[in-house]
Structure 1
């Protein structure tokens, strides 16, 4: 059975609800990823060898933890974090529960992107700031974040798109959202209409996010 328009109209309420759940999940996860991942990325950079807050112990420990979490496949991370999810939100199903594992996956991912963006900054700019007596906080705020803002925005875009893919995967364990809808209707009930509709929605959503992210990154890029 192919795509049936009348059947699609009947499923619009379910699709709308799933779409809202997906936006809810990825919004929470992105906020937490930026809130925690941004400082982690900055720490990974400024504690590296030759930088103004060099600390190999912090750099190695933090880098190990980040790499460890990133090495775990998301579907395994979903299962491994069930006890933590139940402790934090009181349930292991639904979009709120899924946002816990999504956040844990997104934090180290975004942290590494921030670190990579900061490494593209000309170290001469940092040395000049140190020479005029800038404090570490001033260097971070006025130099690092300002110079790397385009790359960081691109990183936010990439993280958001990755979260959309992860959120679809979370549907396999009752996480809600578009992925859950595709599994329940498209897979278990062999409903091609809902499967095609969810794929189209995800493609459009990713394209819109990528376009908006690229546009903003270009606008704030000081090099252009």
Structure 2
């Protein structure tokens, strides 16, 4: 199938016989579209938002055409204006963080503030999980102002401890397990980010609002 008209806010491509891939402007739009589709009971087994796409998988071939027509009716709702963050309304999760990360001082320097002010900035934000990826339970959290963007490390670490709270560009994330990584580490949380016995398994599923709270080291 050909992509939809450039005048439409979403371009739709066939992704095999039982799936469609919707291409949008950014992660906020992807989360907004995925939420909109779920609210309308789209006939897909999975609706998966990513950085600039939404995958609708597990469609019955007979539902591909009607689903494509449904997508054509989307006009950007319900994206919040201004900073392009998704509209609120999801559950709120508070994560207690010990701010002792090896990159906290570097982030404070990049922001031109003290260590304490950097912590206050981070705990003053309400972020939104817009999609998950990289590892099970790793949520890409949106809402860091563009002027606070920080570069990734020049050389990634070979091992980032589980629970590490980190920044890269305008994203915030929490590493659910030990893994390599090049994000800048602010601190650590003991929260379980991924639990197969929980519904949903991801603590920070897309749409979840996230707030960080400073905690003392145990």
TM range (shorter): under 0.3
Task: Name the one with the larger strand percent.
Answer: 2
Task: Name the one with the larger helix percent.
Answer: 1
Answer 1 or 2: higher relative contact order, Cα 8 Å, separation at least 6: 1
Computing the radius of gyration from Cα coordinates, the structure with the larger value is 1
If the length of structure 2 is used for normalisation, what is the TM-score? 0.23
